[in-house]
Structure 1
């Protein structure tokens, strides 16, 4: 019986230790502050700083995915390429030359997590395919109920602004125009740049 108990304890220890080791080896963002369900990031922009609290408890796939791009410094010197008053401030996908940044791949849509597309929440951008989000995100600049899930998939909110509301208010007021080179509407006339994003120490 003692031998059986020893084997059981050993196996349990081995499994828990191995799981911890493998988690540290993962490169999907889950290794970044793995025990913190509400990691915070600081976005340094050309118009000021924004601090966002992410909700890993409700949107683990999305938050880990976002943190992976932050950890790789892949959001540095990207632009907010789409700004629509009373709707969204969108960025994270293009550099200052309008060259599309590389993506890790599409992620599962977590829009049914209970988080809503309300003012100042951060949400993943996507194509028509509900599971097509990669790296682009946007800030809701209104209560965008139409982006929440209903009969169809919605857009995944995964955190909220805790500091820097006034920065987003300034961003959404910038002059925009149609860009004939790329065929895009709502492009800022003067670039709004995301200079860098950093993970803050746990609070």
Structure 2
């Protein structure tokens, strides 16, 4: 039964990938993230995280990430975004995806991974960058981890600068680690095949 459900999900994602042209035949697609602090380019690993990469690229191509906030910044830990617009409203998302944290990729410095809630299969659109070696976020024999699906290949200095901004508790949302001066992801673009 579990294998059957996974097959249906993979078929659905594959069909969606072809329908919206997310380069489903490219193993290591690249995405450019233009932010108010500079540009970051990530290379994604479809070989190890096919569901996660296709999910992320679907949001990229649909324009979901354009004009969103990086809303959680913790030095030497993570920089997280992909879920809020500048009015502090959560953006609507598609259904959650299966957790691919057991794919052999680790939450090391400069990697990109999916944010989620306590439910291991609750990741939708929010993602985070590791700005430290966060192997404690990897899976173990007793728990699910957080799925890494790529790494920064350009703009690491931008990410490091983001990780050092001043933060506060956002009074409207009640969230800690919120940048005092907003950091906006102005545009996410799937780069052409090379």
Partner of 1:190: 181
Partner of 1:54: 44
Aligned ranges 1:118-133 → 2 under 5 Å: 118-133=108-123
Name the CA shift for 1:174/1:57 in 2 (closer, same or farther; >3 Å): same
Name the CA shift for 1:84/1:145 in 2 (closer, same or farther; >3 Å): same
Which protein is bigger by CA-based radius of gyration? Answer: 1
Pair 1:164-2:146 in alignment = no
- Structure 2 Cα separation of the partners of residues 184 and 73 of structure 1: 25
Structure 1 residue 24 displacement after superposition? 11
**Preserved contact between residue 79 and residue 96 of structure 1 (Cα < 8 Å):** yes
Secondary structure of residue in 2 paired with 1:114: coil
Which of 133, 145, 156 is matched with 2:135 structurally? Answer: 145
Name the CA shift for 1:176/1:29 in 2 (closer, same or farther; >3 Å): farther
Aligned ranges 1:1-203 → 2 under 5 Å: 26-28=15-17, 31-150=21-140, 151-203=142-194
- Structure 1 Cα separation of the partners of residues 133 and 14 of structure 2: 39
Structure 1 residue 202 displacement after superposition? 1.7
Per-residue CA deviations over 1:156-181 (Å, capped at 9, x if unaligned) read 00000000000001101110011122
Name the count of aligned residue pairs. Answer: 182
**Aligned CA-pair RMSD:** 1.7
Structure 1 residue 201 displacement after superposition? 1.3
Which consecutive residues of structure 1, in runs of 5 or more, have no partner in the other structure?
1-21
Structure 1 residue 23 displacement after superposition? 8.6
Structure 1 residue 75 displacement after superposition? 0.5
**Preserved contact between residue 41 and residue 153 of structure 2 (Cα < 8 Å):** yes
Per-residue CA deviations over 1:24-55 (Å, capped at 9, x if unaligned) read 99325784112100000000000000000000
- Structure 2 Cα separation of the partners of residues 89 and 65 of structure 1: 20
Secondary structure of residue in 1 paired with 2:94: coil
Per-residue CA deviations over 1:92-142 (Å, capped at 9, x if unaligned) read 000001100010110000000000000010000000000000000000010
Which consecutive residues of structure 2, in runs of 5 or more, have no partner in the other structure?
1-10
**Preserved contact between residue 69 and residue 83 of structure 2 (Cα < 8 Å):** yes
**Preserved contact between residue 29 and residue 65 of structure 1 (Cα < 8 Å):** no
